[in-house]
Amino acid sequence: MSFRKDFLWGGATAANQCEGGYNEGQRGLANVDVIPTGADRRKVITGQRKMLDFEDGYFYPAKEAIDMYHHYKEDIALFGEMGFKTYRLSIGWTRIFPNGDEEQPNEEGLKFYEDLFKECHKYGIEPLVTITHFDCPIHLIKEYGGWRNRKMIDFYEKLVRVLFDRYKGLVKYWLTFNEINMILHAPFLGAGLVFEEGENQEQVKYQAAHHELVASALATKIAHEVDPENQVGCMLAAGSYYPYSCNPKDVWESVKGNRGNYFLIDVQSRGAYPPYALKELEHKGVVIEMEAGDSDILKDNTVDFISFSYYASRVAADENSGVEKTAGNLFPTIKNPYLETSEWGWQIDPLGLRITMNDLFDRYQKPLFIVENGLGAVDEVMDDGTINDDYRISYLKAHLQAMKNAVEEDGVDLMGYTSWGCIDLVSAGTGEMKKRYGFIYVDRDNEGKGTLKRSRKKSFEWYKQVIASNGENLD
């Protein structure tokens, strides 16, 4: 059993990390626009520092990013040159509804994505569209409190109806929310949540998550009604938890870590809150307010496939063990003494991808789609203009081999693979440009300076041959 003949090889980006043009085409302001670089970035991301507009003394990298708004034809041509079968991108909510609660959508925004999707099809590239990649209109945060308010479901439903109707025949692969489990770790970034002093933050986060779960189920329902060819997936920040040792306390912590990671995906994939989650909420004193019909909506509209990001495995230990920690995807994890780390402290674990794939497939028995994986690293442009990113090739080769083993030896059903940041973009965690993931170099620095010139890295030609061989040639 090798990769499917129609295996979807490609790359992934997010509008807020590459698009720019924040004030063009009648686009409105979103939470992702007002997250600055510097010491306050994490405070804003987690909802501990209120920032709902641009403030003096800060740099906001999403304003311009790599200006794909004006360069998308050039960029998609490069993706076509690599042989992409799919391109994962996201919709900027405020391009379609600038405030989020308008009666009619913004035609300029709709036309922009229509043209972009048609450009993809020109090269035989299927768009894989994330409806919400952390975007939330600032107006909806100020007026309604973001996803803490149930009215957000109505605004989201209006958005998806417009998208499914307008892009019928152009897009058939959809993701409802990017890394939905991040709402519990990065609530402003994930759901536009800003907390007041003394507020029960756990109650707010889980209530907001419930609203997103209902919205996701409704989107799945509408997608299938508008076009039976539509396939809708959920998306989580994945990476299985290992116990730090064989101490049963460490093993139990790893079980709890995985449950916490899978909780929301359990609902999207199985159609109900799992018993362990209900007990966990009870212990936290969290009471989810549900309306009549919520349970049926969740039950009757589960996703078609499971998509996920994988950058590293994680480690769990008894809270009294005093073990060392290291960086991870927006939140820290315990340092695994058997693994090397990237320049940003992320643990490199190719076998962990195979383990995670098996854990997910065993749990859900639905097709999987790896929609983010890659290495953030500093790239050096040589005097002759070449960029020899052998470290990136080595990282990806090891992960693709593990992915291949999961398919060929373990029987995991995998739809496709999109490498994260296929073109250099702004880092979500740090706001930096020097933390590069792409096969394509963009001349832009951490202060927003540079020509924006696009250049092929050594990994460009390597990934091109991987795709051409359908994963048979990884050398």
With CA atoms as reference, report the closest residue to 330 among 414, 427, 242, 405: 427
Cβ atoms of residues 286 and 202 within 8 Å: yes
Which of helix, strand or coil describes residue 416?
Answer: strand
Cβ atoms of residues 93 and 22 within 8 Å: no
Active site residue 102: no
Pick the catalytic residue from 340, 372, 409, 447. Answer: 372
Cβ atoms of residues 59 and 448 within 8 Å: yes
The alpha-helical segments, DSSP class H, found in 227-331 are 248-270, 275-284, 294-300
- As given in the structure block, the two tokens for residue 361 are 């497939």
Cα–Cα distance measured from residue 297 to residue 153, given in angstroms and rounded to the nearest whole number: 13
- Burial class of residue 166 in the structure, from the number of CB atoms within 10 Å of its CB (0-12 exposed, 13-18 middle, 19+ buried): middle
Cβ atoms of residues 18 and 425 within 8 Å: yes
Report the chain's terminal Cα–Cα distance, integer Å: 21
Q: Name the β-bridge partners of 405.
A: none
User: How many other C-beta atoms can be found within 10 angstroms of the C-beta atom of residue 446?
Assistant: 16
Q: Name the β-bridge partners of 310.
A: 238
Residues carrying an active site annotation: 372
